Amino acid sequence: MRAVVVRRFGGPEVLEFTEIPLPVPGFGQVRVQVAAAAVNPVDAATRSGFLTEAGIIPPREVIGIGWDVAGTVDAAGDGVTGFAEGDAVIGLRDRPSAALGTHAEFVVLDAAAIAAAPRTVSTVEAATLPLNGLTATQALDLLDLPPGATVLVTGAAGAVGGYAVALAKARGFRVVAVAGSADEALVRGFGAEVFVPRGDFLADRVRVEIPGGVDAALDTALLGLEALDAVTNRGRFVVFAAGAAPIPLRGIEVGHVWIRADGAALAGLATLVDDGVLALRVAETLPLHEAAKAHERLAAGGLRGRLVLIQE
């Protein structure tokens, strides 16, 4: 089969579209025939060598690319229940050190890492859900707040930020969203009650809206201390990248999301999509063999939604 891999680190040009052996599912695993796979910033971080320098991916000769997948079950190993050949599924590859990623024609995943695909959206749209949706979900779980709490979401127009706004609203939180001025209508549509344009003196402007500060913040834009300063004393703060955690001033509890596959939670997200709670956004589709072009588009920025690689 064909897959996208890297054998050396660098820019988009180091991505190889190559032939590799067809993977075989082991006990408790399924092989998914990939129809669509989103391109995420973590894929660029893998390709550039950043994750290896950070100690997240050990040095190896071949490294697979891609975390998200939407497709159909092609084969199942022993011990798999609940999924059968031909089932439409979505899933997450959460082991960055694995030799094969989801930017391939087939991928093997643990059955516990997949869920039935949403029924009301296309396969391409469904491919954008797993990594970003689960990241937002697990970040909100870390906050462990009661309904009615105020939650600041930076980068609210982004992929993770948009999900975080919608999911926080669904949990009964009052959402304060930070994004560019042009995105106010967009993020209010996700469920934000209060909008604060990004810019200087962010914490001061948030505290005008929420005297005393918000109960917690999800810092998807990696603003660090600038966002932490908007949180009340002994509040909670979650970061989304290694090395991005600010100093936990004023007794604020600072946590980090280390994403993990969770088929049950993914099934819940698929239900929220079908119920109209979560909107899935696709910026552009490209064929799998144009993965390098997709990475160039990602680096250029300005995307609203995810780039998705599709099988021809």
Whichever domain contains 25, its CATH number is 3.90.180.10
Residue in the block written with tokens 């946590």: 255
Answer yes or no: is pLDDT of 97 > 90: no
Instruction: Give a yes or no: residue 264 inside a domain.
Output: no
Residues composing the chain: 312
pLDDT tens, 38-47? Answer: 999 999 999 9
Answer yes or no: is pLDDT of 153 > 90: yes
Structure tokens at 202: 């962010």
Average pLDDT over residues 96-120: 95
pLDDT category at 96 given cuts 50, 70, 90 is confident
Whichever domain contains 201, its CATH number is 3.40.50.720
Following DSSP, what letter does each residue of 202-223 receive, concatenated?
HHHHHHHHSTT-EEEEEETT--
Q: Of 305, 261, 274, 272, which Cα lies nearest the Cα of 169? A: 272
The whole-angstrom separation of Cα 132 and Cα 291 is 19
Answer yes or no: is pLDDT of 242 > 80: no
The whole-angstrom separation of Cα 185 and Cα 71 is 33
123 and 34 in one domain?
yes
Average pLDDT over residues 58-82: 95
pLDDT tens, 125-144? Answer: 999 999 999 999 999 999 99
The whole-model pTM stands at 0.94
Instruction: Give a yes or no: residue 202 inside a domain.
Output: yes
Q: Of 15, 73, 74, 19, which Cα lies nearest the Cα of 47? A: 15
140 and 119 in one domain?
no
Q: How far is CA 55 from the centre of its chain?
A: 20
Instruction: Domain of residue 67: give its range.
Output: 2-129+281-310
pLDDT category at 55 given cuts 50, 70, 90 is confident
Within 10 A of 112 (CB to CB), how many other CB atoms are there? 16
Q: Of 16, 14, 20, which Cα lies nearest the Cα of 107? A: 20
Structure tokens at 150: 């105020």
pLDDT category at 301 given cuts 50, 70, 90 is confident
Instruction: Give a yes or no: residue 150 inside a domain.
Output: yes
Q: How many domains does the chain have?
A: 2
- At 182 the pLDDT is 94
